[in-house]
């Protein structure tokens, strides 16, 4: 449901400057693709905090609070250790910090695979406790029944095919998928199954480009590429990767800034001024009147 927001910024730096905006809706995202063509590609980035959401919101159609926060925020070895409570806490922060983009929250590993009923219980908690618009889950045809079950009950679902990080142990790593004919056919058929089940969008991750293009043409919903193709209906990156926060990133990442160097440099200058007693100066202290 679209909502117009207005917040008082006088009491907290966490509140953005008041600027009433109408949040995008799932039908709006769906309508980007007309007769198989998306003239205005969909922009999505990850967000895990309120402040990050504030900075990204005006530029994105979708903000994904992804379970990649396990590695990015918590330093975990994979997303498999992420809990539903973690996703809810961060998802709520992203919703509080945004007013324009559709906020999608990942369902973490183990919270939806057992049955459609389990998925609904988890998704209902996420929507109710975060205020987000949609959930994302991984898996293709095997999850189609669950996607249909959720969408028929008012839960918008974003699918995820190709390289699915929650299945890293089964896949044997994070290598590109779709190199064999059998796997390529499965990726396309998985996308079609999710589309027919009612997914409003599908992330296509880490697949060889012709397969991403074929899958995009085969479905009526929008596809969001990551390590896929610029012919997908939209793109997503982990924001911290795009900003250069990490030394090691997947080959499909383009770094638009080197924020890690900026932060390290600022910390170094601060440390030097503290050690030489140059900080705080008169401007940063309270003097007798």
User: Tell me: the pLDDT tens digits for 54-105?
Assistant: 999 999 999 999 999 999 999 999 999 999 999 999 999 999 999 999 999 9
pTM of the shown model: 0.91
- Which of 205, 209, 214, 283 does the annotation list as catalytic? 205
In this prediction, residue 118 has a pLDDT band, given cuts at 50, 70 and 90, of: very high
Give the residue ranges of the annotated binding site for 3-methyl-2-oxobutanoate: 67-68, 106, 136
Main-chain phi, psi angles of 235, to 5 degrees: -140, 155
Instruction: Based on the residue annotation, tell me whether 209 is a catalytic residue of this protein.
Output: no
User: Tell me: the pLDDT tens digits for 168-191?
Assistant: 777 777 677 779 999 999 999 999
What CA–CA distances, in Å, run from 105 to 89, 144, 175?
A: 11, 18, 24
Rounded to whole angstroms, the Cα distance separating 207 from 176 reads 5
Q: Regarding the domain delimited by 26-258, which CATH topology (the fold level of the hierarchy) does it fall under? A: TIM Barrel (3.20.20)
Give the residue ranges of the annotated binding site: 67-68, 106, 136, 138
Q: What is the pLDDT of residue 16?
A: 53
The number of C-alpha atoms within 13 Å of 72 and in the hemisphere containing its C-beta is: 21
Rg, the chain, Cα only? 21
């Amino acid at each position: 449901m679209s909502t117009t927001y207005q917040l008082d910024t006088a009491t907290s730096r966490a509140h953005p400057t008041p600027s009433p905006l109408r949040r995008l809706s799932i039908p709006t995202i769906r309508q980007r693709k007309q007769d198989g063509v998306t003239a205005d590609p969909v922009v999505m980035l990850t967000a895990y905090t309120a402040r990050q959401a504030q900075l990204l919101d005006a530029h994105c159609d979708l903000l994904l609070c992804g379970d990649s926060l396990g590695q990015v925020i918590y330093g975990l070895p994979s997303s498999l250790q992420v809990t539903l409570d973690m996703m809810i806490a961060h998802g709520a922060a992203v919703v509080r910090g945004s007013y324009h983009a559709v906020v999608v929250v990942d369902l973490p590993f183990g919270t939806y695979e057992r049955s459609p009923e389990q998925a609904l219980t988890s998704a209902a908690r996420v929507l109710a406790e975060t205020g987000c618009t949609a959930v994302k889950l991984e898996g293709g045809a095997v999850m189609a029944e669950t996607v249909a079950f959720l969408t028929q009950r008012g839960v918008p679902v974003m699918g995820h095919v190709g390289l699915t990080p929650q299945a890293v142990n089964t896949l044997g790593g994070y290598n590109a998928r779709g190199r064999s004919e059998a796997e390529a056919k499965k990726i396309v058929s998985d996308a079609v199954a999710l589309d027919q089940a009612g997914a409003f969008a599908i992330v296509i991750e880490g697949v060889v480009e012709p397969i991403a293009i074929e899958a995009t043409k085969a479905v009526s919903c929008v596809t969001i590429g990551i390590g896929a193709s610029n012919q997908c209906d939209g793109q997503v990156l982990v924001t911290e990767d795009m900003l250069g926060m990490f030394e090691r990133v997947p080959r499909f990442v383009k770094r638009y800034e080197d924020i890690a160097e900026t932060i390290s440099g600022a910390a170094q200058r601060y440390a030097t001024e503290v050690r030489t007693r140059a900080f705080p100066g008169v401007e940063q202290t309270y003097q007798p009147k």
